[in-house]
Structure 1
Amino acid sequence: MSIGGDGDMVVKNRFLGFLIWQSVQSTAIFLLCKLLLFSPFTQRPLSPSLAGCVAFLAFQLSLLLFSTSVSVVASPYPDRPASLSELALGLVRLLFVSGGQPLSLDIRRRAKITLSFVLFVTASALSGFLSVVCVGWNCDLSAGLQPWHRLEIIGFRGFAVGFFYGLHSLFKRRWVLEFPIIQRPPFFSFKMGLPSAIGRALKLSGAAYLLSSALAVFLTKEFQGQVTMGKFIAEQIIFYIGIFTVFLCWELSHHLHQVLHTKRFIFAPPKGSAAAETNPSEPLLAVLEESTPRSLLQHLAYLDLCMICESNADTWRRAAFFEETGETYKRVVAVCLRPLEKLASKLDEGLESYSVDKSFQLSHQLQSPTDWQLDSRLLETFYNFQLCAWCARIAASLTVHSHKEDRFGVAQLSGSNAAVISTLMSCLLAVETFMGKKTNLQSPHHLMGPAGIKWAALSTGRRDVTVSSMGKKRGNPQYSKAYSMADILRTSIYHIVSAFHDEMLNSAKAGLLEKDWIISSKPLYGTHEILLQKLRLFLDFRAS
C-alpha cells in the first residue's frame, strides 16, 4: 500500500470510513431498539410512516453532527487548552497593547483547542436534543400533554444529557487517541471493546437520567393536567431507553473512532514494484520529516516505523535502512532521536526554572511541598509520552538489528550508535531527576563498585525537595508516565547493551568506551563523566 502522494488523504479516508461504519451501526441500533424495546409502547411498531422516516433521518443527522465533533476534537497529543483568563488577557493584548499584532503561536494553538472543546460540548448538547426526541417520537407519551409540550420536555432533557456527556468526555480526556500496544485487525479490536462500551453506556445513561430528572422539575408544564401513575412510569421507562439508545450509539462511535484511527498504516510502495526495489523508505521518511508535529499522520508514521524495527514481518523494509551510503539510516535515526532530544531539553529547562529563591521559600515555608503547583512546562513534558516511547523502542531495536544486518557498518561509522546511547541515557537521567533521583559523581575511593555511581535522594535544598515531591506524588497526573518512560528507556538501553556487550567490554578494557559510545559534544543532560559511569552501570547490569 502506498500513500499515493498527499499523506493527509490517509486521515481523510479514515474519517470517511468512520462516518460510513458509524451510520451502519447506528441504523442497526435504531431499528433494533424501535422493534424490540419500544414496540410495547407503540400502537403499530411495524407500520412505516412519514413521521418515522423523518425521525430516522433526523437521528442520523444528529449522530453525524456528534461524530464530526468527535473527529474535530480528537488528537493523539493531549495538549492543554487555554483558560478563560488567558483568552481574555490575549484579547486585551491584541486590541489595546500589541497594536493589532498577532498573538503568539502557543496562545493561538491553545485557543483553537479551547474553541474545539466548546464546539464539541455544544454539538453533544444539540445532538442529544435531536436524537432523544427522534428516538421516542412515535411512542405513546401523551400523559395528558400537548405534542409541543412533550417536545419541549423531551428536548430539554435530551439537551441536558448531551451537555452532561460532552463535559464528561472532556473531563475524562476521552478525546485523546490511545494507540494499542498490540495491533489487531479492526473487526477484532472493535469486538473486544463492545462489552466495555455497553457497560459505560449503561452507567452514563443512569447518571444522565437522574440529572435530567432533577432539571425537569423546573418544567412546570410537565406536571400540568391529570397524569396517571401508569403513564408516568411508562414515560420514564421510554425516556431512559431513549437515553440509553443514544448513549450506546455515542459510545460505539467513540470506540469505532479509536479503532479506525489508531490502526497501523503501511507507508511503503507495493512489494515488487519499481519504487520498492529502488527506494522503499522514501514515503515513510517523507511523512516523518514533513508532516505536522503532533498530528495523527505523524503518529501513524512512527507507529509504522516501530513495527518495522521491532517485528520480522517487514524485513525487506528494514534492510533498506542499511543501504551503502548510510544516508537513509542517519535520517531514520535523526527522526527517532528528535522527540527524545526535545524531552530531555524540556525537562532540563523545566527543572532549572523550578529553582526557587529565598522569597519563594519564605512565602511557602508553612506549606507542604506536595501542595505546591507544578510548573506548567513540567506538566506538559510528558504529553508526548506515546511518541517518545515509540522513538526509544525504535532507536534501540534498530541499533540491535544493525549488529547483524548492517553489512556496510553505517551505524558505527556514522556515529549513530553513540548518538543513540547518549540520547537515551540523557533522557533517562532527566526523567530520574524529575522522579526524585540524583546521580552524584564520586571520588575514586568512594566508588560503589566498578560503575562508580551513587544514587541518593534529593535532600540538598528546597529545590531538591520540591522536585522529589513532584515526581513521587501519586496524585500527579504525570507520575505514571514518568515511571513508565524511565522503564522504557532503561529497557531500551539494556537491549542495546546486551547485543553489544562483548564489544563494549573490549572498548572499556582498551579505554575507548567513551570514544566509541558517547558523543563528543555536550550531552543533552548531565556530563560526559556521568554518562560514562551510567553506561558502566548498565554493563554490570546494575542500573535500576
Structure 2
Amino acid sequence: MSLSTALFQPQNGAVIIKHRFISFLIWQSILSTISLLLLKSLLLFPFPSKSPSIFLSLLSFLSFHVSLLSFSACLFILSSPHPHKPASPLDLLLGSARLIFLPSNNSNLPPPPQTRLAVRVSLSFVLFVVASALSGFVSLVSILWSCGAFVQTRPWRLVVAMLGLRGFLMGVFYAVYYVYKQRWVLQFPIIQTPLFFSFKMGLLSSIGQAFKLSTAGYFFSSLVVFFFHDEYESKVTMGKYTVQQLILYIGNFLMFLCWELSHHLYQVINTKRFIFAPPKGSAAAETNPSEYLLAALEESTPKSLLQYLAYLDLCMVCERNVDTWRRAAFFEETGETYKRVIVVCLRPLEELTLKLGESMEGSVQKSSQLSDQLRSPTDRLADSRICESFNDFQLCAWCARIVASLTACSRKEDRFGVAQLFGNNAAVISTLLSALIAVETFMGKKTALPSSNHLMGAAGIKWAQMGTGSRDSPVGLTEKRRGSPVYMKAYALADIMRTSMYCIVSAFHDEMLDSAKAGNLEKDWITSTKALYGTCELLSQKLRLFLDFQAC
C-alpha cells in the first residue's frame, strides 16, 4: 500500500483514514448489491409479486443503499481501536444542568477532556442506535415493498407502515446488541494477511452471526407488533400468513447480512497494515526514513486509529527481516531516533503498570474496610479501574514485542552502540519486568520466592503478602474467576511479556552471565531509579530467573 509523499505528512494523517473509508464504501456497495440480487432472485422468486416500474425499482434500489450509507457513516463515527467509557445518564444530566444554570462567566470554561470524550462516546452510541433504526425501516421496506403477498391483503400505505415498524425494531435490536457487546472496538488480527483472504476467512462467521441475530430480531419485533391490532389479519388465511412471515424473515435476514458484512469489511479494511515510510529509493528514504513513522506515533491523537496503525507498522518492521533498511535507520549515530522509538513504546507499558498497581492497591484497601457481606466477589472483580487497566491490551502487546525485538537486534545491528550507551537496554528490561510482575500479581502468582535470601526484609515481606492471594485481595478474586475476560487478557499479556524477556535474554545471555559473575547484573541491566512496581531487588530476582530459564 503506497501513496504519495504528501500523504505521509502528520497534518494529512486523516487522509489515510478517509481513503480507507472510501474504499470501504465502494466494496460495501458491491457486496450489498450482490447480496440483494442473489437473495431476491433465488429466495423471493418462488413467491408471487407484482412487477414494479423501472422508476420504482430504481428508487427502491437507491433507498436501500442510502440506508446502508447512513449505517456506515455512523459506524465510522462510532468505531475505535480503544474501548472508551461512555458517560452515564446522570453525568449527561448534570452536565446539561451546569451549562444551563451556571453564570455566563463560568459557562465559558470548557469541560475536562475526559468528560468531553465520554459525552462524545455517549452521543455516538445514541446516534448509532437512531441510524440503525432508520436504516432498518428503509431497508426492509425497500426489499419487500413490491412483494404481492403483502399488498394483496392490505393497502400499500399499511404495508409500508407495517414493514417499516418491523425494520425499525430490528434496527434498534441490532444497534443495542452491537453497542452492548462492544463490537465497535476494532480487533486487529494476530497475523496480517491479504485483504481478500482476510475477508474470506470471516465470511462464514458473518453469515452465521447474521442468521442468529436475524432470528432473534425477528422474534423480538414479532413480540412487539403482536400487541398492535391489525383488522386485516382476520382476512388472511393460514397459508398466506405463513408465506408472509417466511418472506419477512428472508428480508430480515438480508438486512442483517448486509449489516454483518459491512461490519466485517470495515474491520478488515481498517485493521490492515499501513506502511509509514517514503518510497524506497527516494531522497527522504536516504536521509531520514523514520520521520513519517515517528510523526504518526508522537503527533497523532492518542489512542486513535492512526496511532494504532503506526504501532502495528513499527512492530512488523522490528520483528520481520523484510524492511531491514527501515530498522537499520533506527540505529543512527546520534541515537536520537532509537531513543524516541523506545520512549513511545515504553510509555503504554509504564501507564499499564502504574494504573494496575494503583487499582490493586485501592481494591485491597476497599476490601479491608468492607466485609464480604457488603462487597461480593463479583462486584470486586468487576472493579472498573482494574478492568480499564487492560483497555490498552493490544497497544501494550505490540510495545512489548517492539522493544524486545529492537533490543535483541541491537546486539548485531547497532554499529554505534546507542542502545547500550544511552541506557535504553536497562530501561527496557526494567519496564518489562515491572509490568510483568504487576500483571502476575493481578493473576494471583507470588511475586517473591521464600528461598531468596537477598529478599528478606520489609520489601520482601510486603510483596510476599500481596502475592499470597488472600480472600479479599484482587489476586484471590481473580483466582476464583479465571474465565473472566480481564483474566484472559492478563494471561495473554503476561505470556507476551515473558516471551519478550526471553527474546532479550537469549540474545544477551553470555553478556548477562558475565555481569552476574562479576556482581554487576543489576548495575548493567536494571535502572537505578525506583521501580514502577515492586523493588529493584525483586526485579533482579526476576531477571535471574529468566537468565536461568526458570521464569514461567
Shorter-normalised TM range: over 0.9
The answer as to whether partners of 1:421 and 1:518 remain within 8 angstroms in 2 is yes
User: Once the 2 structures are TM-superposed, how far is the Cα of residue 159 of structure 1 from its aligned partner?
Assistant: 0.4
In the alignment, structure 1 segments of 5+ residues that lack a partner are: none
> Does 2:75 match 1:70?
yes
- Cα shift at 1:111: 1.2
Structure 1 distance, partners of 2:200, 2:470, is 52
Deviation at 1:534, TM superposition (A): 1.1
Counterparts of 1:143 and 1:496, CA distance in 2: 74
Q: Please say which of residues 365-374 and 409-418 is displaced more in the overlay.
A: 365-374
Supply the AA of the counterpart residue of 1:183. Answer: Q
Quick one: structure 1 residues 433 and 464, their matched pair in 2 at CA, closer, same or farther if it must change by over 3 Å?
farther
Deviation of the 1:459 alpha carbon = 7.4
1:488 to 496, 500, 505: 496
User: Does the residue aligned with 1:220 lie in a helix, a strand or coil?
Assistant: coil
Counterpart in the other structure of 2:482 = 474
Task: Answer with 59-68 or 85-94: which moved more.
Answer: 85-94
Q: Contact 1:70–1:120 (CA<8 Å) still a contact in 2?
A: yes
Q: Is this contact kept in 1: 2:79–2:185, CA < 8 A?
A: yes
Matched, 1:90 2:129: no
Secondary structure of the structure 2 residue equivalent to 1:356: helix
Residue in 2 that maps onto 1:9: 15
CA displacement at 1:269 relative to structure 2: 0.3
**Please, which moves more after superposition, 391-400 or 323-332?**
323-332
> How far has the Cα of 1:462 moved from its partner?
6.6
> Offset of 1:478 from its aligned partner?
1.0
Alignment pair present for 1:19 and 2:13: no
Q: Which amino acid aligns with 1:263?
A: K
Listed as ranges, the matches of 1:215-364 within 5 Å are 215-221=224-230, 223-224=232-233, 226-356=235-365, 360-362=369-371, 364=372
Q: Which residue of 2 aligns with 1:214?
A: 223
- 1:29 pairs with 2:38: no
Residue 57 of structure 2 is aligned to residue 52 of structure 1: yes
Conserved in 2, the CA contact under 8 Å of 1:453 and 1:533? no
CA contact (8 A) 1:426 1:531 kept: yes
1:41 aligns with 2:50: no
CA separation of 1:456/1:437 partners in 2, compared to 1, >3 Å: closer, same or farther? farther
Residues 131/180 of structure 1: CA separation in 2 closer, same or farther (3 Å cut): same
Structure 1 length as normaliser, TM-score? Answer: 0.93
Query: What is the CA-CA distance between 1:355 and the residue it aligns to?
Result: 3.6
Give 1:41 deviation, angstroms.
2.5
Q: How far apart, in 1, do the equivalents of 2:179 and 2:333 lie?
A: 50
Are the structure 2 counterparts of residues 337 and 200 from structure 1 closer, same or farther at C-alpha, using a change threshold of 3 Å? same
1:229, distance to aligned residue in structure 2 (A): 2.0
Of 214-223 and 405-414, deviating more is 214-223
Aligned-pair identity in percent equals 60
Distance in 2 (alpha carbons) for counterparts of 1:295 and 1:534: 34
In structure 1, the partner of 2:512 is 504
Q: Equivalents in 2 of 1:459, 1:410: separation in Å?
A: 37
Contact 2:368–2:472 under 8 Å retained in 1: no
The aligned runs of 1:76-115 (5 Å cut-off) are: 76-96=81-101, 99-100=106-107, 101-115=109-123
| SS across alignment from 2:69 | helix
Q: Secondary structure at the match of 1:293?
A: coil
Contact 1:441-1:530 within 8 A present in 2 as well: no
Which one-letter code corresponds to 2:399 in the other structure? C
Q: Is the 8 A contact 2:404 2:504 kept in 1?
A: yes
Distance apart, 1:48 and its partner CA: 5.4
Pick which of 328-337 and 228-237 moved more: 228-237
Using the TM superposition, name which of 403-412 and 430-439 deviates more.
430-439
Q: Return the offset for 1:33.
A: 2.2
SS of residue in 2 equivalent to 1:298: helix
Q: What residue is the counterpart of 1:386 in the other structure?
A: 394
Native 8 Å contact 1:291 1:298 kept in 2: yes
CA contact under 8 A between 2:470 and 2:476: conserved in structure 1? no
Give the deviation of 1:472 after TM superposition. 4.8
Q: Which residue of the other structure, out of 517, 530, 541, is the alignment partner of 1:533?
A: 541
Contact 2:381/2:478 (<8 A) preserved:
no
Contact 1:190/1:259, CA 8 A, preserved across alignment: yes
CA 1:223–1:307: 2 relative to 1, 3 Å: same
- Name the CA shift for 1:359/1:382 in 2 (closer, same or farther; >3 Å): closer
Q: Which has the larger displacement, 98-107 or 209-218?
A: 98-107
In structure 2, runs of 5+ residues without a counterpart are none
Distance 2:45 2:533 in 1: 67
Cross-structure match for 1:426: 434
Contact 1:459 1:465 in 2 (8 A): no
- CA–CA separation in structure 1 for the residues paired with 2:215 and 2:367: 53
Q: Cα distance, 1:160 vs. partner?
A: 0.6
The answer to whether the 8 Å contact 1:186/1:259 transfers is yes
Aligned-pair distance for 1:471?
A: 6.0
1:165-222 deviation per Cα after TM superposition (whole angstroms, max 9, x unaligned):
1111112211010000100010111111111111111111111111112222122126
Q: How many residues align?
A: 539
Distance 1:335 1:358, change over 3 A: closer
Deviations 1:56-83 (A, max 9, x none): 1100100001111111111100111112
Name which of structure 1's ranges 151-160 and 27-36 shifts more when overlaid on structure 2: 27-36
Cα RMSD of the aligned pairs, angstroms, is: 2.4
Write the distance in 2 (CA, Å) between the matches of 1:512 and 1:208.
66
Q: Does the 8 A contact of 1:471 with 1:482 survive in 2?
A: no
TM-score of the pair, normalised by structure 2: 0.92
User: In the aligned structure 1, how far is the partner of 2:225 from the partner of 2:91?
Assistant: 35
Tell whether the 8 Å contact from 1:73 to 1:117 is kept in structure 2 after alignment: yes
1:149 counterpart residue number? 158
- The CA deviation at 1:468 is 2.7
**Is this contact kept in 1: 2:86–2:122, CA < 8 A?**
yes
Task: Name the CA shift for 1:109/1:454 in 2 (closer, same or farther; >3 Å).
Answer: closer
Alignment-mate amino acid for residue 480 of structure 1: M
1:196 aligns with 2:201: no
Equivalent of residue 407 in structure 2, options 372, 390, 399: 399
For 1:263 and 1:426, locate their aligned partners in 2 and report how far apart those are by CA, in whole Å. 32
Q: Which amino acid aligns with 1:28?
A: I
